[in-house]
Structure 1
């Protein structure tokens, strides 16, 4: 049995909400080259716009996590999912850049509202194995993120960008049903907690172990984000259509979700440190293989790219679970840092990376990016220094 009897209903609804919310966060990447063509903007500008999406969906998560921990209300998971579903679905229909950016910002803020509180709820409502439950929850989000490109590219390819708003229906319906299916805080728990935002941030940012885990999360999100944003432009230039690009991203992110799902079992067999080492080091040789095959052996390059997703996200649930155990009183805030802040920092960097990729070439830039986690894998040993 995956869940205990008392936790099953809540965990299923939270995992379902994570899957659906992250469908919307993944819809723009494969169709952005075609949206850019529609509104007549270049790849660097499109990269900046996509970076805005990641910034507003990520950098604000620690702050929303603070209020979620302090207020002890369920509101963030409902309104977050509603906002993400409604506004992201409207982005492809926007004919003017300011309106498109507004829709992206509002939808991304919705995702930023949803994630930290839902991450805290997974631990709060876990009766059995919180690491296993976190692995399932993160895997469902990754699978949703992988499904987004497939759904959006299919709708865009066969029905047109103007039909994208129909995607909002699923998110709105699930958010409304969660009102009755996710438990409220008990009366004793519903009293606001007394701690300050400054104190929480000082405690988190002064903790060496959490800083290392944040760096690891940033490096893995750097690989995922740079591949998801830049490679659709490469494939469009190579002549691939919307559906083919969406299918490639789906495979990459879907196998990433499988990696997250298998991660807790792998941790038991090979050890936590080895899971981190595999996730951080193996990406580099795989990116090299992709570079040498994407023109001459495209099918093999797609297989390599998909397996790269598995490796990149292999350590994601372990990173989150380990971080939340360091300072358990700040579960939602730490969830916001690992799952959000790290992605936001990478999104800021992507604005510059987009210009570099256009000035040079996309694939060599990705190879250089993949070297960074391999070099920084030396940090893993410091996670276990205290235990020794």
Structure 2
């Protein structure tokens, strides 16, 4: 007997809301960087170091959290991660007189972001039925959160100075409460796949993990990560340095980048389900490379804003397809696959960020975008190494009378 994947729309929307809150803190870190430069006299290398703080421990913790999610479920980890991310960012402005203290609290926030993603993505895969379209909806929550962060930071810091970061914990508390209200019955469930041990054993026997293909995808995602983190870190500073704009005007590009990314995520998920994931991945990288070149060649700050929006749209077109590809390559390690695609690759971009900061200090920020355009082009070339895998997940489904079991495949 074949059954269709179950979907829980309320649960998916609640998770999407928490994803917005969680990634709000990633965007908040980027939005705070110009204020640390202006009000705390940090250098470009120093603020790039803050980006590293947000991602360094995350890069180590992400696979561990993914493994724990695969083994024990641990849905509560998404809630704990969200609250930790919010508290870390909230404290950053309060301790801005001490760079090491800022580095530590931002690092703690990054670990929270890392803890959130694997458990939440596994639950989103379950509640959404495993399609690229459903995953794109969950993913777009992150884009929305990042897009809202610059405005929230400007309001909070503009009103209270760097001490205003204390107000930024509010989204974590409010949307964490919403998630608990919707999902409390399942919050401490052992495994988001909801299968018995016998079913899990049979599932793993049906489909093997393709680590070679997953490794190739990780290389592609590394290029994506550098472009995403680099743009989030330097696009406002680029407008300020090259065109002498105000931080408020420069932040417009930083807001449009993830907002356009939200459109790209939803569009890309829909297109991937209809035209194939690899075609959409390659198209996105090609358009992203061209958009980055447009930023480099921009003659006015308005062109920078438009080109940054185009970059956000094109860079996120492959996003949901890359997540479901990762799940198809590692069907028995969904948590690890989610942790790498949503966390470790972002951390890789953060690790490179201080190097980009040094280049900006010794040359200029424009040179950073030239390098990112080249790296996105490398990602486009590497995407042709990727192969499609038709079956993402197999489950053994019990016959209603309990007489036999048959295989179910999710494509």
2:111 pairs with one of 100, 109, 117: 109
Query: Where in structure 2 are the equivalents of 1:302-381 lying within 5 Å?
Result: 302-381=305-384
Instruction: Provide the C-alpha distance between the structure 2 equivalents of 1:72 and 1:375, rounded to a whole number of angstroms.
Output: 36
Per the TM alignment, residue 64 of structure 1 is displaced from its structure 2 partner at its CA by 0.7
Residue in 1 that maps onto 2:244? 239
2: distance between equivalents of 1:256 and 1:39? 30
| 2:55 aligned residue | 54
The 3 A distance-change label for structure 1 pair 156 and 386 is closer
The aligned counterpart of 1:253 is: 258
Cα drift, residue 190 of structure 1? 8.8
Deviations 1:222-278 (A, max 9, x none): 111111112222233343233222221110111011100111222245433321222
* Aligned 8 A contact 1:30 1:242 in 2: no
Stretch deviating more after TM superposition (114-123 or 147-156): 147-156
What RMSD over aligned residues (CA atoms) do the two structures have, in Å?
2.7
Q: Give the distance between the partners of 2:87 and 2:267, measured in 1 at CA.
A: 32
Which structure 2 residues correspond to residues 207-226 of structure 1 after superposition, within 5 A?
207-226=211-230
Match of 2:163 in 1: 162
Contact 1:71/1:191 (8 A) holds in 2:
no
* Offset at residue 311 of structure 1 (A): 0.6
Cα separation, partners in 2 of 1:5 and 1:332, compared to 1, 3 Å: closer
Equivalent pair of 2:136/2:266 in contact (CA under 8 Å): yes
Q: Secondary structure at the match of 1:240?
A: coil
TM-score (norm 2): 0.83
CA distances 1:283-317 after superposition (whole Å, capped 9, x unpaired):
23322222222xx3221221111111101111010
User: Is the partner of 2:19 in helix, strand or coil?
Assistant: helix
Structure with the greater alpha carbon radius of gyration: 2
Higher RCO (CA 8 Å, separation ≥ 6 residues): 1
232-241 vs 102-111, which moves further? 232-241
Aligned counterparts, 1:287-306, within 5 A: 287-293=292-298, 296-306=299-309
Alpha-carbon distance in 1 for matches of 2:346, 2:99: 23
Tell me, in whole angstroms, the C-alpha distance in 1 between the residues paired with 2:99 and 2:378: 39
In structure 2, stretches of 5+ residues that fail to align are 201-207, 391-411
**CA deviation after TM superposition for structure 1 residue 5, in Å:** 8.9
**Aligned twin of 1:77:** 78
Please say if 1:267 is aligned against 2:268: no
* 1:200 aligned residue: none
What displacement does 1:138 show? 0.7
Structure 1 unaligned residues grouped into runs of 5+: 196-202
Aligned partners of 2:79, 2:29: CA distance in 1, in Å? 22
- My pick for the range that moved more, 49-58 or 354-363, is 49-58
1:143 and 2:144 matched: yes
Q: After the TM superposition, which parts of structure 1 deviate over 6 Å for at least 4 consecutive aligned residues?
A: 190-193
Of the three residues 373, 382, 385, the one matched with 2:385 is 382
- Secondary structure of 2:245's counterpart equals coil
Q: Residue 155 and residue 246 in structure 1: after superposition, are their counterparts in 2 closer, same or farther (change >3 A)? A: farther
| Distance in 2 of aligned mates of 1:258 and 1:218 | 22
Q: 1:167-191: per-residue Cα shift (whole Å, max 9, x none)?
A: 2123113223433422246579598
For the structure 1 residues 37 and 267, does the alpha-carbon distance in structure 2 shift closer, same or farther, using more than 3 Å as the test? Answer: same
1:285–1:39 CA distance, 2 compared to 1 (3 A): same
The answer to whether the 8 A contact 1:84-1:111 is kept is yes
Q: How many residues are treated as equivalent by the alignment?
A: 374
1:280 aligns with 2:285: yes
Query: Following TM superposition, by how much is the alpha carbon of 1:59 offset from its aligned partner in structure 2, in angstroms?
Result: 3.8
Q: Deviations over 1:138-158 (max 9, x none)?
A: 111112112112221233234
The whole-number CA distance in structure 1 between the counterparts of 2:6 and 2:376 is 40
CA distance in 1, matches of 2:332, 2:144: 29
Q: CA deviation at 1:364?
A: 2.4
